[in-house]
A and B are shown apart, each in its own frame.
Chain A
Amino acid sequence: AQSVSQHNHHVILSEAASLELGCNYSYGGTVNLFWYVQYPGQHLQLLLKYFSGDPLVKGIKGFEAEFIKSKFSFNLRKPSVQWSDTAEYFCAVNARTGTASKLTFGTGTRLQVTL
């Protein structure tokens, strides 16, 4: 069965530190990959997505993610975090088989950025 793993459940960083959140999935076929963010008291929002092409995807607010097919990974990165990046981050994978699709979310990583 398809699964998505986010190994870091809670990450605490100081402002200006670099961020990397891990996301690994288990599915051997065609996938679409997503990172969502939920800021405190706000809706879940799409941060970035990968469908095809350049495996290094740039999203909003300086975030980027790299799809490494051989490692089944789609890690989220930001060179220098800000206090306003405090939020919960969800990785999601859509596995495509013909015309069928199945979306699976990871359990989320809570990021806390301290001043």
Chain B
Amino acid sequence: DGGITQSPKYLFRKEGQNVTLSCEQNLNHDAMYWYRQDPGQGLRLIYYSQIVNDFQKGDIAEGYSVSREKKESFPLTVTSAQKNPTAFYLCASSTRPFWADSNQPQHFGDGTRLSIL
């Protein structure tokens, strides 16, 4: 079955460490997205990528970095510069940027919960 795989499900980080969250999709989607979900704040867009080797900052990109070397993979690195990294991180993908075509639904992964030790 096609879908989005995020790993690990739970991740713990020490202060000052960088940590990378994995997101892989086998849906042959061009566009991929990373969101952060905090209690009482809904989902906020961190980064998105419309095509391989291209990515754009979302609303809260500071302290994060991404890469898109392969179509199926869009890893997110939470750097030590991110002051409040504890959150639930969701990865999503769509055939094309969902706002560009009304027929493109976004598919979401199961999420990774990151906590600071």
Contact = CB atoms under 8 A, between A and B. Distances in A.
Report whether chain A binds chain B. Answer: yes
Contacts of B110: 43
B53 interface: no
- Between B44, B90, B102, the greatest number of chain A beta carbons within 10 A of the residue's beta carbon is seen for B102
B43 interface: yes
Interface in B79-117: 90, 92, 97-100, 102, 105-110
A94 B42 contact: no
Interface of B: 35, 40-45, 58-59, 90, 92, 97-100, 102, 105-110
Nearest to B106: A46
B42 A107 contact: yes
B106 A90 contact: no
Q: Is the interface of A mostly helix, strand, loop or mixed?
A: strand
Contacts of B35: 105
A103 B99 contact: yes
Given A44-B43, A46-B106, 6 more contacts: A32-B99, A43-B109, A45-B108, A46-B105, A90-B43, A104-B44
A69 interface: no
A44 B108 contact: yes
B99 A92 contact: no
A52 B41 CA distance: 28
Contacts of A52: 102
